[in-house]
Structure 1
Amino acid sequence: MSTSRAQALTSAPLPCSDEVLLLVDVINPMSFPTADDLLPSAWAAAQRVARLKKRLAARGVTAIYANDNYGTWHSEFRDILGACQMLPGPRGDIARLLTPTPDDLVILKPQHSAFHSTPLRHLLTQMGTKKLTIVGWAADMCVMLSATDACMYGYEVWVPQDCIAAETVERFDMAVKQLGGAFDCSVRPAFRADLRAGAPPQRV
């Protein structure tokens, strides 16, 4: 058996991480009909996500990618990542910018929420996680449903509003209002200077 195959069968302990960065659907072919409406704000948010991820990693915060499998049940995450990295324009730019590191964890999800029919809650329990920072897209769909499930499971949830994206300003504003109101998530931006310097993140 080759060394790489032997390593694949070797159990690796999960890191202990009181806080986890959850990246929702950031590796994304953006192949749905209204994707062009989402791309500009997703690319702007992706650049801030990359900065936030680096900042949190320096504090020892583990990153977990919760990614849609896009109905490709015969594929695994590396196949999806490779295909997205090869795409032209912002689609490929986002995948290349947010490529997971070897220390990051990855799960595939079949539905909108990162918790639905996935091992996410088991992973978080094993890691001793109490707080989730959730970023990604779309703000009013997969991010919102993942965040509301996290709230119902008792996690402290931060959804930095400058690290999420939606197809329209109205949908973005609705998601932020719901998350910060009814679900009592923190929606403070990760980079306040960015917001002071120009337009709100969804308008970039």
Structure 2
Amino acid sequence: MTQNHERALRSKPLPRCEQALLLVDVINPMNFPAADDLLAHAWHAAQRVARLKKRLAAQDVPAIYANDNYGTWHSEFRDILAACQMLHGTRGQIARLLTPTPDDLVILKPQHSAFHSTPLRHLLSEMKVRKLTIVGWAADMCVMLSATDACMLGYEVWVPQDCIAAETPERYDMAVALLGGAFDCSVRPASRARATTSAGAKK
């Protein structure tokens, strides 16, 4: 057995932190019919996500990628990442900008919510997480459903409104209004957040 294989089988302790960053579907081929309507907004949001991720990493806040597998059950996340990184234009730029680091955690999800049929809840429990910062796309689908599930499970949730994207301004505005209103998430922009970020800080 090679050293690389030995390292792959060696368990690594999970980080312990009361807060975690959840990146929803940011590694994405965007090959659905309305993807072009989402791309420009997603690229601007991706740049802010990258800055927020770097800032949180400096505070030892772990990052968890919750990514769709796009129906490719015979592949794994590294295959999806490599394919998205090779895409031309904005699609590839986003994947390259938001490529996970070796310390980041990754789960694959079969449906919209990052909690549905995934080990995310168990993972967060093991990490002692109480607060979630949720970013990604689409704001009115996978981000919203992940955030509302997190709220119902008792997590304090921050969805920075400048770190999410939707296909239309109307869908984006609807998602922000519902998250910040009915579900009582913080939706304050990451660009206005304090240096010491807390998911529980209010809007």
Q: TM over 0.5, yes or no?
A: yes
After TM superposition, the structure 1 = structure 2 runs for residues 52-201 of structure 1, keeping only pairs within 5 Å, are 52-192=52-192
Look up the equivalent residue of 1:169 and give its one-letter code: P
- Equivalent residue number for residue 202 of structure 1: none
Deviation at 1:73, TM superposition (A): 0.1
Partners of 2:177 and 2:186 lie apart in 1 by 11
Question: Which one is further off, 9-18 or 54-63?
Answer: 9-18
Q: Helix, strand or coil for the counterpart of 1:67?
A: strand
Q: Deviations over 1:32-63 (max 9, x none)?
A: 01000000000000000000000000001000
Cα distance in 1 between the residues matched to 2:5 and 2:60: 28
d(CA) in 2 for partners of 1:44 and 1:17? 28
| Counterparts of 2:54 and 2:128, CA distance in 1 | 21
Shift of 1:158: 0.1
Query: Offset at 1:17?
Result: 1.3
Aligned residues: 193
Instruction: Find runs of 4+ consecutive structure 1 residues off by over 6 angstroms.
Output: none
Whole-angstrom CA distance in 1 between matches of 2:76 and 2:2 = 21
Calculate percent identity across the aligned residue pairs. 81
1:31 equivalent in alignment to 2:50: no
User: Secondary structure at the residue paired with 2:78?
Assistant: helix
Distance 1:62 1:131 in 2: 11
CA distance in 2, matches of 1:161, 1:74: 34
Q: Give the drift of 1:190.
A: 0.5
Partner of 1:201: none
Instruction: Tell me how far apart the structure 1 counterparts of residues 140 and 113 of structure 2 sit (CA, whole Å).
Output: 11
- Tell me how far apart the structure 2 counterparts of residues 38 and 145 of structure 1 sit (CA, whole Å): 18
Counterpart residue identity of residue 130, structure 1: R
Deviation at 1:192, TM superposition (A): 3.3
1:13 corresponds to 2:8: no
What's the secondary structure of 2:162's corresponding residue? helix
Q: 2: CA distance between counterparts of 1:5 and 1:117?
A: 29
Matches of 2:192 and 2:2 in 1, distance apart? 49
User: How far apart, CA to CA, are the structure 1 residues paired with 2:3 and 2:50?
Assistant: 32
Counterpart CA distance in 1 for 2:180 and 2:160 is 10
For 1:166, the aligned partner's letter is A
Structure 1: unaligned runs, 5 residues or longer: 194-204
Equivalent-residue separation in structure 1 for 2:111 and 2:5 (angstroms): 31
- Give 1:7 deviation, angstroms: 1.0
Separation of aligned partners in 1, 2:111 and 2:141? 10
Using the TM superposition, give the Cα deviation of residue 21 of structure 1 relative to its aligned residue in structure 2, in angstroms.
0.2
What is the one-letter code of the residue matched to 1:173? D
Instruction: Tell me, in whole angstroms, the C-alpha distance in 1 between the residues paired with 2:175 and 2:114.
Output: 17
